[in-house]
Structure 1
Amino acid sequence: MSKVGIKDIAARSGVSSATVSRTLRNPELVSKDTRTRVLKAVKETGYKPNRFGASLRTQKSGNVVVVMPDITNQVNAGIIRAIESEAHKAGYSVLLGDTQNQEEREQHYADMVSSGQADGILIFTPNLPFTLQENKPVTEQLPPLVNSCEEIDNEDIYKVLIDNKAGGRAAVQHLLDLGHTCIAAVMGPKDTPSTLERLAGYKQALTEANIEINKNLIIRGDYRTVSGIEAMEKLLRLRHRPTAVFCFSDDMAIGAMNALREYDYRIPEDISVIGFDDISYAELMYPKLTTIRQPLEDIGRNCMQLLVEQLKGNRPEQKVIKLPFELVVRQSTGPVPR
């Protein structure tokens, strides 16, 4: 069976080949009657447009790149799902770039946009892998781009964020309201914006409660489960153990809870644990994990919608979209032990 082409569709629908191409690329530019006839012919013949050939003619790849430090992370999985859905609606394919926290990998994925293999980029790391000239406007030097989760320090870039500092403060305030005054913090990766902001919220809540910041209660983690286990073990070796622990990610909170059970501590009767993110496993834990919920799907959806607007040639007025977080109280936090 011979392959169906645009000329076949044109003959079947009684229009020119140019009109068929216009209908498939920009259906809003042709009349309703023409659009109906062309699309009927396409359906009847099973014609499949050659996207590669179209990309050569339009200089568009039909791809967008998503750059993330760890695509296996549950937080990122929720965001990716929403990005994929929005991209599909807009006619784009998603290329996932797992950087594994390596800047050379970030540069590699950024180069895909520069070389025309992708039309835009979503960046979930705090680094901007593009070189900027000081004497030119930023918007003229960058491809369609949106930054999220780990904020890039540039006010001219489109961003979708939550208030990590306020979220950290809310987590600690919840523990303070339960009567806790000896509250530990298990941080995320060193010097990342989300870590620094959540730490600032932790310190703000304690300072407002007239509680001195104890550096011994602040432990470095990396957002992964194993670092939560290791951090909790360090805290349990302290002479004055905390009565509550704020982990800067749910994965670390789950690790901390496993460590507590390993050493026969009760949650929350002996030590309360609160996380950050509200990943799917949070509600499956025993006890169920109290946490700060990030609107993961909304983050992904807004990122892709903001990118699509730029891909259309628009420049949205709102540079930064701030999405709300939510304190989700479950069973892993309780009153301070007597």
Structure 2
Amino acid sequence: MALIRRAGQADIAEQLGVSVSTVSRALANETGISDAVRRDVQRVARSLGYKSKHPVDRSKLDKRALALVPLNSAIGNLASFYHGIVEGMRSQSAESGIAIDVRLVQEDMVTLDFVKKQVAKSGANAVVLAGIDPDDEMVEWSMDTGIAIVLANGSDPLMRFSSVSPANFYGAYMATKHLLDHGHRKILHYTYHHRPTIRQRRRGFEAAIADHPDAEGILVISNEHSSRELLSGLLEKKYDATAVFCWNDSVAVTMVDALLGQDSPMPENFSLIGFDDLPIATMASPRLSTIRVDREAIGRGVVRLLASQMQGEQAVQQLETGVSLVEGETVHPLI
């Protein structure tokens, strides 16, 4: 049986039409090689399965990361959520020796060209996308350049990027089970049909309902019905439900007074639960029952993944931080 020859630097040089010394310097990340040539060399090396006999000591490379945080979320109703993630990243980056540059951006501006420009300006060799889902162009660019991308409060169903997110499936299962344990059997889940993380919450809700043959789950999608329309429908008894599980606290809090306040026309045992345990959940009267997410733990986990990738880790890792139930005052036994 003929032995399979391992690809070498000469094979890479021949395919690209450059010298072997150029290939060697590009693979060693030496100066004097253009970014375009370095990317081409690294791309062909990966495609040929090339393995260096003298791998680069990544511990000696600069560790600089660019974190892009959506402006609308950072100053809107999710401000405290992303503030916690950023604080976690900053505290862990100091411990990990990573310089992290946090920038607020308009989410619809985060194209591949925009990311390229931001990376060039900052000199970053890794990127964090906080609550921003990358497109296919970013996948190819990340692979070609070797610049790691880690998702904060996100996940990639195709497992091309490492990510850190709360345990959305199990948190939603926990929230729904809490309502079921209080006797509710007709539960409405108000959800958002877009991000993979939120779809996991929907799956957790459906799994909990499926575990109780006598329970009925009602889905209302925010893309099709606004929270105001849903609230009107609930008050007008258009939905046969005794409890509502909202996909986040921001939406749930807007309904607390109307559904559970002193002047509410809803039954006294009507129940409502949210997700995230944002500060506004503690400000609601009555205090919102919800699922607590450790936002700083998400940020710390992101930086730990960045550090491992900067050390040469190739495996995609999808980490989940644990969540916990906050009982609050908005879930009541169904009598």
Correspondence for 2:23: none
In 2, Cα distance between equivalents of 1:197 and 1:278: 18
SS at match of 2:74: coil
Write the mapping of 1:71-86 to structure 2, written as runs, cut at 5 A.
71-72=74-75, 73=78, 74-86=80-92
Q: Do the aligned residues in 2 keep the contact of 1:110 with 1:129 (CA within 8 Å)?
A: no
Closer/same/farther in 2, CA of residues 91 and 169 from structure 1, 3 Å limit:
closer
Correspondence for 1:65: 67
One-letter code aligned to 2:132: T
One-letter code aligned to 1:164: N
One-letter code aligned to 1:253: A
Q: How much has 1:179 moved relative to structure 2?
A: 0.4
Q: Which of 115, 119, 128 pairs up with 2:125?
A: 119
In 1, Cα distance between equivalents of 2:125 and 2:267: 49
Correspondence for 2:253: 254
- 1:159-207 CA distance string (max 9 Å, x none): 112331221111111101100012111112x232122111111112112
In 2, Cα distance between equivalents of 1:329 and 1:256: 17
Closer/same/farther in 2, CA of residues 287 and 116 from structure 1, 3 Å limit:
same
Correspondence for 1:144: 148
Closer/same/farther in 2, CA of residues 248 and 159 from structure 1, 3 Å limit:
same
In 2, Cα distance between equivalents of 1:115 and 1:327: 43
One-letter code aligned to 1:75: F
One-letter code aligned to 1:99: Q
Aligned length: 268
SS at match of 1:70: helix
Q: Do the aligned residues in 2 keep the contact of 1:148 with 1:303 (CA within 8 Å)?
A: yes
Q: How much has 1:314 moved relative to structure 2?
A: 3.3
TM-score by length of 2: 0.69
Q: Do the aligned residues in 2 keep the contact of 1:70 with 1:98 (CA within 8 Å)?
A: no
SS at match of 1:71: helix
Q: How much has 1:218 moved relative to structure 2?
A: 2.1
In 1, Cα distance between equivalents of 2:229 and 2:272: 15
Alignment root-mean-square deviation, CA: 3.2
Q: Do the aligned residues in 2 keep the contact of 1:187 with 1:218 (CA within 8 Å)?
A: yes
One-letter code aligned to 2:167: D
SS at match of 1:115: helix
- 1:271-300 CA distance string (max 9 Å, x none): 211001111221232111111111111001
Structure 1 residue 204 and structure 2 residue 207: aligned? yes
In 2, Cα distance between equivalents of 1:257 and 1:208: 28
Q: Percent identity?
A: 22
Correspondence for 1:87: 93
Closer/same/farther in 2, CA of residues 241 and 219 from structure 1, 3 Å limit:
same
- 1:121-171 CA distance string (max 9 Å, x none): 1112232464445xx9x7554412211322123324221123312211111
Q: Do the aligned residues in 1 keep the contact of 2:154 with 2:164 (CA within 8 Å)?
A: no
Closer/same/farther in 2, CA of residues 325 and 114 from structure 1, 3 Å limit:
same
Q: How much has 1:96 moved relative to structure 2?
A: 1.9
Q: Do the aligned residues in 1 keep the contact of 2:68 with 2:103 (CA within 8 Å)?
A: yes
Comparing 140-149 and 282-291, the one that deviates more? 140-149
In 2, Cα distance between equivalents of 1:277 and 1:306: 23
Closer/same/farther in 2, CA of residues 275 and 251 from structure 1, 3 Å limit:
same
In 2, Cα distance between equivalents of 1:132 and 1:240: 43
Closer/same/farther in 2, CA of residues 265 and 213 from structure 1, 3 Å limit:
same
Comparing 74-83 and 255-264, the one that deviates more? 255-264
Correspondence for 1:29: none
Q: Which of 72, 95, 103 pairs up with 1:96?
A: 103
One-letter code aligned to 1:83: M
- 1:220-250 CA distance string (max 9 Å, x none): 237xxx9544432222223454211100101
Closer/same/farther in 2, CA of residues 297 and 307 from structure 1, 3 Å limit:
same
Q: Which has the higher contact order (CA 8 A, sep 6+)?
A: 2
One-letter code aligned to 1:283: T
Closer/same/farther in 2, CA of residues 274 and 142 from structure 1, 3 Å limit:
farther
SS at match of 1:331: coil
One-letter code aligned to 2:150: V
- 1:48-100 CA distance string (max 9 Å, x none): xxxxxxxxxx9969452224362221322221222233334535242323334
Correspondence for 1:178: 182
Closer/same/farther in 2, CA of residues 130 and 60 from structure 1, 3 Å limit:
farther
SS at match of 1:277: coil
Comparing 176-185 and 319-328, the one that deviates more? 319-328
Comparing 277-286 and 86-95, the one that deviates more? 86-95
Write the mapping of 1:298-309 to structure 2, written as runs, cut at 5 A.
298-309=297-308
Correspondence for 1:220: 221
One-letter code aligned to 1:289: L
